[in-house]
């Protein structure tokens, strides 16, 4: 028997079959769903699951249930998709019921970061602990909370939105939510260009000469890969940006620590490929703030599952 996991992104739709021991047996990835309406998105999910099934010579009756990761708010447990910036036709849409009717299988729909949290908790860097927080930084910032071995969803399913914690209230940087100084506005793929510009202006203001990292011709073109490479090559501008990112993540983790007292914080997402300088800054900012209020060590570590955290987590949704 398998669990099916569907990672529904703004550009990518991936459907995987996961065995009961947490192995991905087949995965089908397509990119043509995002221009269609809600029915076309459902059709793409069904097609990808059927294709994955045919690769392992199985049928829909071999699936226990389907878990869907949704990139936005989800009303739990109804599986109504509330808001999303990438798939506007799915605002206020009963995704769980529609997909369940199309496949004739039980379906669970949850926020993507919540599902990745479950994946890391059961199969990745969260193994062996009871209280864990997952923080993922890619284009945006998301997260999830495990309390006493269970995913905590809050009253209506929107707990763990660490990206909108305000970490710099006086900041002029606006978050997509409209507030100023949210963690997502200060640290994410979305924030990189603004941070790079601000940091280079600061260098100029202080009369400090700087160079762009190799391969980067214009500050506006700086991406995560160039940033990491630049920092490893001792590029001061890149190191300064990474230290700023690490500082805000350290402040964010400190806030989470004070509220939830987790035993472990797992960091995932694209920007987590940043060099050790990032992690060292996160650790030192966190410890500096926590100081005498730290009684036991908080274990901050990188996620282990990368892009597969979601599909694996979808298989855990049925026990969570």
Binding site for Zn ion (CB under 5 A): 164, 175, 177, 179, 182
Q: How far is the CB of 181 from Zn ion (least distance, A)?
A: 9
Q: How far is the CB of 263 from Zn ion (least distance, A)?
A: 27
Q: How far is the CB of 217 from Zn ion (least distance, A)?
A: 31
Residue tagged 């409209």 (tokens): 178
Q: Which among 240, 225, 314 is positioned nearest to 270, based on CA atoms? A: 225
Q: Which residues, at least 6 apart from 206, have a Cβ–Cβ distance to it below 8 Å? A: none
Q: How far is the CB of 142 from Zn ion (least distance, A)?
A: 12
3-state secondary structure of 70: strand
Q: Which among 110, 111, 130 is positioned nearest to 121, based on CA atoms? A: 130
Q: How far is the CB of 177 from Zn ion (least distance, A)?
A: 3
Residue tagged 């924030």 (tokens): 191
Cα–Cα distance between 212 and 254 in angstroms, integer?
32
Residue tagged 């490893």 (tokens): 232
Nearer to Zn ion, 179 or 284 (CB): 179
Nearer to Zn ion, 85 or 258 (CB): 85
Nearer to Zn ion, 86 or 214 (CB): 86
Nearer to Zn ion, 22 or 189 (CB): 189
Contact present, 14 and 32 (Cβ < 8 Å): no
Nearer to Zn ion, 85 or 214 (CB): 85
Q: Give bridge partners of residue 241 from the DSSP assignment.
A: none
Q: How far is the CB of 279 from Zn ion (least distance, A)?
A: 24
Cis peptide before 55 (omega within 30 of 0): no
Structure tokens at 174: 């606006």
Nearer to Zn ion, 22 or 176 (CB): 176
């Amino acid at each position: 028997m398998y669990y099916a996991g569907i990672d529904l992104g703004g550009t990518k739709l991936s459907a995987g079959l996961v065995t009961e021991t947490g192995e991905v047996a087949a995965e089908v990835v397509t990119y043509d769903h995002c221009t269609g309406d809600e029915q076309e998105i459902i059709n793409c999910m069904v097609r990808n699951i059927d294709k994955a099934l045919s690769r392992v010579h199985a049928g829909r009756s071999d699936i226990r249930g389907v878990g869907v990761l949704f990139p936005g708010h989800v009303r739990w447990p109804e599986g109504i998709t509330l808001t999303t910036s990438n798939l506007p036709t799915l605002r206020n849409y009963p995704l769980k019921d529609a997909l369940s009717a199309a496949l004739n299988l039980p379906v669970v729909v949850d926020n993507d970061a919540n599902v990745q949290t479950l994946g890391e908790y059961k199969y990745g860097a969260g193994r062996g602990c009871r209280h864990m927080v997952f923080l993922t930084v890619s284009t945006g910032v998301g997260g999830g909370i495990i309390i006493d071995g269970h995913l905590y969803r809050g009253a209506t399913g929107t707990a763990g939105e660490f990206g909108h914690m305000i970490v710099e209230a006086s900041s002029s940087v606006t978050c997509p939510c409209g507030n100023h100084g949210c963690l997502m506005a200060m640290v994410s793929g979305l924030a990189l260009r603004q941070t790079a510009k601000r940091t280079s202006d600061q260098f100029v203001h202080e009369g400090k000469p700087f160079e762009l990292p190799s391969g980067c011709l214009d500050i506006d073109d700086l991406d995560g890969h160039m940033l990491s490479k630049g920092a490893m090559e001792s590029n001061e501008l890149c190191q300064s940006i990474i230290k700023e990112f690490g500082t805000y993540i350290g402040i964010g983790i400190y806030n989470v620590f004070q509220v939830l007292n987790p035993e472990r914080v797992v960091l995932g997402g694209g920007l987590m490929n940043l060099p050790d300088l990032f992690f060292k800054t996160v650790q030192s900012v966190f410890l500096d703030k926590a100081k005498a209020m730290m009684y036991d060590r908080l274990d901050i570590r990188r996620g282990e599952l990368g892009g597969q955290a979601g599909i694996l987590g979808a298989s855990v949704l049925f026990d969570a």
